[in-house]
Structure 1
């Protein structure tokens, strides 16, 4: 089913979710045209149980197919504008104009129908990420580092409240903020969500106000040029690195991503990345490449004091990954449509 595509005329329901309202909300940003956005919607038309037209299996397949074609976009160049036309249709998902337009529609949908919008990768994946991250943080709080080990062990409610309330959490590319709502239900209290789309933050704040989550803070912020001046003990990423990689300057922007995240994550903190475009081994290799790059920079004569600290202590180390996602066999290899990997900040 993931390989089936329909034109807007053939499948109006599939694209109804991404139709701009007649009177656009004013954000001061250019948005993609209806034609461009319908092409992107054909590549990734995903909705959730909060107003869903696709089941979880179809959503996983569509998201994986759309994002896995990221490797087809052109190499990094002097191209830097998010407002120019991309080379490949799937790189629409790497442009801010696409997300601005998409969240204008999400916000209009919420105001008209009360729909919360998309749950990236499906409710099953989000539930797994929440419970797994909760157990991982509790283990780390107790001094149990499950490096290369099995699944984190669940704790009692009393232990959850004792340990989780001490974790400061940042959700980058928060979208509608539903992940933070679920983390709040599990006992996390210091919660911040950021997104470079004002529409996303407006939607997330509206949903939090409606659902009674006054403890969650939402801010407009671009992870690649973050203006946040604090560090967090837990940083969550569900598809943001995937989307960054879809930009025509994806390779350069991914380096900027890791530089920024390494500054936002407190020493001893945890980064949890959920991706449908990369395997666990690919994410671990990317982190290793970033570590090696930092070590090389620290050995240069012009290295700053902060850079010199990476000479013997690379920024990240692999901590653990989710092992319970369904797998499939392809070409003699076993894989999963989604990978969730945790890295420890040294």
Structure 2
């Protein structure tokens, strides 16, 4: 369904995620539990595999995860050989950032940059950037954040808070840069309609296959993982 058709949910509020990560910080401090992996380990592996197939870790690429949570995806990229000094994660929850930083200290990922940032309001700068943050990123990653934003309260005109997201993502990418997103609320076609537009300059690049399920005589995947590339 489109973002305008989604009903607002607590999952779309900062208060919810602040509460979640406050508890996960406490759990990590008590037991070392790193917290929930959003969409599971398989989604992380598939996104890392896509990156390895399309963007060589040999280059010092600037990679940003939007809504990085506990940092699992970025840690997996570091383990796959990507330069930790070029990896960054942002989250609007301070405790999510705190959790990721604590986990990083146990995984040798201290050089990964985790910072508190509202993606729709702030301009995150690449760790090694010598230029402005606009048009500075080689790869943007999203694993469920667009979904969560789309569950926020609509404005007075009925527009979803996720409406400006696609143009925002495109604005941060370098020409030729990639945007890789995994979603459970939107189908492949819906993601294409939202992101591959004349305003963004993004074009569909590829998709990642997920296991298919059948229900009521119809088949489909629980998740959609789609890559877009910004026009040169």
> Above 0.5 in TM-score?
yes
Structure 1, residues 201-220: CA drift from partner, whole Å, max 9, x if none?
00000100121112200110
- The structure where helix makes up a greater share of residues is 1
**By how many angstroms is 1:332 displaced?**
4.3
Residues 1:126 and 2:20 aligned together: no
Match of 1:328 among 205, 213, 220: 213
Q: Which position in structure 2 is the counterpart of 1:172?
A: 66
**By how many angstroms is 1:68 displaced?**
10
After superposition, the CA RMSD in angstroms is: 2.1
The CA distance in 2 between the partners of 1:206 and 1:96, in whole Å, is: 21
Residues 1:263 and 2:149 aligned together: no
Tell me: CA distance 1:244–1:232, structure 2 relative to 1, closer, same or farther (3 Å).
Answer: same
8 Å CA contact 2:6, 2:151 repeated in 1: no
The CA distance in 2 between the partners of 1:254 and 1:175, in whole Å, is: 18
Secondary structure (helix, strand or coil) at the match of 1:223 reads coil
The CA distance in 2 between the partners of 1:214 and 1:274, in whole Å, is: 26
Secondary structure (helix, strand or coil) at the match of 1:166 reads coil
Q: Which position in structure 2 is the counterpart of 1:247?
A: 152
- Runs in 1 of length 4+ with deviation above 4 angstroms? 67-70
Residues 1:116 and 2:34 aligned together: yes
Tell me: CA distance 1:70–1:327, structure 2 relative to 1, closer, same or farther (3 Å).
Answer: farther
Q: Please report the TM-score for the alignment, with normalisation by the length of structure 1.
A: 0.59
The CA distance in 2 between the partners of 1:92 and 1:69, in whole Å, is: 15
The CA distance in 1 between the partners of 2:80 and 2:193, in whole Å, is: 31
The CA distance in 2 between the partners of 1:70 and 1:108, in whole Å, is: 36
8 Å CA contact 1:174, 1:194 repeated in 2: yes
Secondary structure (helix, strand or coil) at the match of 1:243 reads helix
8 Å CA contact 2:70, 2:99 repeated in 1: yes
- The structure where strand makes up a greater share of residues is 2
For structure 2, which runs of at least 5 residues remain unmatched after alignment?
Answer: 126-132
For structure 1, which runs of at least 5 residues remain unmatched after alignment?
Answer: 1-66, 74-87, 139-159, 295-313
Q: Which position in structure 2 is the counterpart of 1:316?
A: 202
Secondary structure (helix, strand or coil) at the match of 2:141 reads strand
**By how many angstroms is 1:166 displaced?**
2.4
Q: Which position in structure 2 is the counterpart of 1:210?
A: 106
**By how many angstroms is 1:318 displaced?**
0.2
Corresponding pairs, count: 217
Report the structure number with the largest CA radius of gyration. 1
The CA distance in 2 between the partners of 1:186 and 1:339, in whole Å, is: 22
Where do 1:188-207 residues align within 5 Å? 188-189=82-83, 190-207=86-103
Where do 1:1-346 residues align within 5 Å? 71-73=5-7, 91-138=9-56, 160=57, 162=58, 165-189=59-83, 190-229=86-125, 230=133, 231-249=136-154, 251-288=159-196, 291-292=197-198, 294=199, 315-323=201-209, 325-346=210-231
Q: Which position in structure 1 is the counterpart of 2:128?
A: none
